[in-house]
Chain A
Amino acid sequence: MATNDPFALDAVPRRVMPLIFLVDTSGSMDGAKIASLNTAVREALNDVGEISKNNSDAQIKVAVLEFSSGIDWMYPQPIESESFQWQDLKAGGLTSLGAAYGELNEKLSKSRGFMAEPTGSRAPAIILITDGQPTDDYKHPLEKLKGNPWFKAGVKVAIAVGDEDTNVDVLAEFTGNKEAVLTVHNVDQLKKIIKTVSVTASQVASQSASVGVSSNGAPAPADTQSQVVDSVTNAIETNEDLQNVDQGDSTANSGTDDWGNW
């Protein structure tokens, strides 16, 4: 008779927040860059899994889109961060950033894409990692992407791997503001910034909105994007390991690139 236990319990439904990595796997990423990226994301995902596991507001699922001469999702659908198995990426080919933007726009959709979770979706956190300039037309797909409401509401951070070929302005078009573009100059910084950004973006974007006023009377942070930027800025200022990361237009560490594999 206990088939209909009135006190049977399901976990309270949580919205799903996709954490999406857009990873440049063009030829120039080959060697130390892609190797340390593989290590760093794998490690960062352990932390993200922990955040997801203990977050009563939202669950974090992970998706990875690599772009070189073409584009490829690591898995066709986002996967729970706790059980995500990172497959090492290999580098080779061109930098089809425009194609990646187009594909991302397709998937940030309730009807055709990643945002059709039965328990509801939360705007994604998107981390773009690249060491070069796009070799295809990125402007047009980016315009379309910027009209996507999920993208607009989401958190966008770009990590420029070295300052030799990257262009902060091009990446700021993606993030919406320059402070969300972080330039690293060696593998140590790359690893640490991947971890910092992954964890911060996951924490902020998976949480329920903050409301109210701060102690100086200022309104609540406008959106998750600015919260993430504030938090990353704070980390760069206070964490010794991140001190030589350039944020936005900063060129304080310009020319210090050392990727150790030329």
Chain B
Amino acid sequence: MSELKIGTTIKLSNGETATIKEELGRGGQGIVYLVKVSGQNMALKWYLKHPGTVFHKNLCNNVRAGSPAPNFIWPLAVTEEVNSSFGYVMDLRPKGYEDMSKFILTHAKFADVHAQLNACLQICTAFQKLHIRGLSYQDMNDGNFFINPKTGDVLICDNDNVAPDKTSMGILGKAGYMAPEIIEGTTMPNRYTDYYSLAVCLFILIYMNRPFEGAWHLSCPCDNNPEMAKQLFGFNSVFIMDPTNTKNRPVPGVHNNVIRRWGVFPSFLGKAFCKTFSSSAIQDPTQRLMDKQWTNILLQIRSMYAKCPHCGKDTFVDVMGQGARCIYCQKPISTTSLKVGRFTIPLLEKQPIYSCLISDEQDRNVKAGEVVVKGGAVGIKNTSDTPWTAMLPDGSVRIINKGEGMPAKVGLKVRFGQGETGEFI
């Protein structure tokens, strides 16, 4: 047994030492202690049983490489071996963050749709950065995310299993989150299995039901029996909103949230889930949407979340679908849109134009402009330091500096600095 006694001081790979203050929690794998490192409170995860030299080496590699994105509560230093085991040090979870499972239990709720979309965006961005390094997270589930319900800021924990694609750190995943090919045991974790788990988490955070738990799931007893889990979550699994196979549809009275929300979010979001959870993408992982694609979809949705000109409530204005209607008052909303690159932004008063849609800005919350309405005429105003160039149909141009605006008229084009060129439609 390799527990650490309170007061023990242990050496770290970065030359510092950690002193055990108290136990914060324990799980199957190990214990998390509050420790002091150079006068600072930090967390130490200690393995009750040595997880093996391969695991140890991988952890050291991850420490050396550093965190791929600020969202990861990344291992910062590995401890020396004591009592034939070891651990690693990481930052403590700051206040104000809740376990994703608390959201599932509705013990925590997003303050608004902005926070909800922000959480999804941050998860996608973080995993994109992890995947670019050739790493995969391996066992993504609702226990790995801490989310701030007010802002949607996300922290990702349990990063000790992060490893290069197709190597297994021997972690057992959770049925319902793990990719079908892991359930069926035909592959080792890789970024495609992560894409599946990512889509599961996004689906839950958005629609607040589980993507593979509908009528068929309910009719099968013992879903935690490994054989049954294989049926329900393996190659034969059926997405609850599959356009053709209806056997696993949500059940009214049980799966209420997705029934309410499916038609509320823009239809292309639903289509993206249908694609990534289609029977062909269940069989063929390369057909799944990647984190970057999810990011673009979420950015598009965020830009469509605007104030209804009729009732004043925040609604989705699905200008890419057919006949946008307010989700509250149901009145049709017709509006000019700005089409820029892959994005279409409905031009409703005060709607922000985010920099990341028109340039290579990495901070997704930076705004470059906003929609203004004057005397019934719609325009866009530059609020950034980068001048825009309005291009008129006759070929003449006009520079739009910070604080200036231009009319949003069909036929006009606008070039956003060195970035994209948009047109009004």
Q: How far is the CA of A219 from the CA of B109 in the complex (A)?
A: 37
Which of B8-16, B63-71, B215-223, B410-418 lies at the binding interface? B215-223
B side interface size, CB within 8 A: 58
Q: Once the chains are docked, how many angstroms separate the CA of A210 from the CA of B173?
A: 5
Interface string of B117-147 (1 = CB under 8 A from A): 0000000000000000000000100100000
| List of A residues within 8 angstroms of B217 by Cβ | 120
Say if the beta carbon of A252 comes within 8 Å of chain B: no
Q: Size of chain A's interface in residues, with CB distance under 8 A?
A: 48
> What is the chain B residue whose CB lies nearest that of A11?
B106
Q: Which of B50-97 contact A (CB under 8 A)?
A: 51-52, 54-55
Task: Determine the chain B residues whose CB is within 8 A of the CB of A216 once the complex forms.
Answer: 52, 170
B183 at the interface (CB under 8 A from A): yes
Chain B nearest CB from A241 CB (Å) reads: 13
Q: Which candidate, A64-72, A90-98, A135-143, A220-228, is the interface stretch facing chain B?
A: A220-228
Check A211 against B229 for contact (C-beta < 8 Å). yes
B210 touches A (CB below 8 Å): yes
Distance in angstroms between the alpha carbons of A149 and B233 in the assembled complex = 20
Which residues from B are CB-within-8-Å of A115? 221
Contact with B along A209-249 (1 / 0, CB 8 A): 11111111101111110000001000001100000000000
Q: A56-B142, A122-B224 are in contact. Are A13 and B255 (CB under 8 A)?
A: yes
Assembly CA distance A1 to B223 (angstroms) = 40
Judging by beta carbons under 8 Å apart, are A150 and B139 in contact? no
| Chain A residues within 8 Å of B182, by CB | 211-212
Contact yes or no, B256 A10, CB < 8 A: yes
For residue A51, give the distance in angstroms from its CB to the closest CB of chain B.
Answer: 12
Q: Which of A103-130 contact B (CB under 8 A)?
A: 110, 115, 118-123
Stretch among B31-39, B257-265, B270-278, B397-405 lining the A interface: B257-265
Q: For window 145-163 of chain A, which residues contact chain B by CB distance below 8 Å?
A: 149-150, 153
A residues near B139, Cβ cutoff 8 Å: 212
Whether A150 and B257, one on each chain, are in contact in the complex, defined by CB atoms closer than 8 angstroms, is no
A237 to B49, CA, bound (A): 13
Q: Are A13 and B229 within 8 A (Cβ)?
A: no
CB nearest to B204 among chain A residues: A12
Q: Does B6 make an interface contact (CB < 8 A)?
A: no
Whether the pair B101, A110 counts as a contact (CB closer than 8 A) is no
Specify which chain A residues have a CB less than 8 angstroms from the CB of B257 in the assembled complex: 8-10, 12
Q: What is the minimal beta-carbon distance from B377 to any residue of chain A, in angstroms?
A: 30
Closest to A17 in B: B224
Q: Contact check, B172 vs A150: say whether CB atoms are below 8 A apart.
A: no
Chain A window 1-32, contacts with chain B (Cβ cutoff 8 Å), 1 for yes, 0 for no: 10000111111110100000000000000000
Cβ-based interface call for B164 (8 A): no
| Alpha-carbon gap, A7 to B305, bound state (A) | 14
Is the Cβ of B225 less than 8 Å from the Cβ of A215?
no
Return 23 A-B CB contacts under 8 Å, by A number. A1-B329, A12-B204, A13-B254, A13-B255, A15-B223, A56-B101, A56-B142, A57-B174, A58-B224, A120-B217, A121-B221, A123-B225, A149-B221, A209-B223, A209-B226, A211-B183, A211-B226, A212-B139, A212-B168, A212-B178, A212-B185, A212-B189, A221-B172
B interface, CB within 8 angstroms of A: 1, 28, 51-52, 54-55, 101-102, 104-106, 109, 113, 139, 142, 168-178, 182-183, 185, 188-189, 204, 208-210, 213, 217-218, 221-226, 228-229, 233, 253-257, 260-261, 264, 327-329
Residues of A within 8 A of B (CB): 1, 6-13, 15, 53-58, 110, 115, 118-123, 149-150, 153, 205, 207-217, 219-224, 231, 237-238
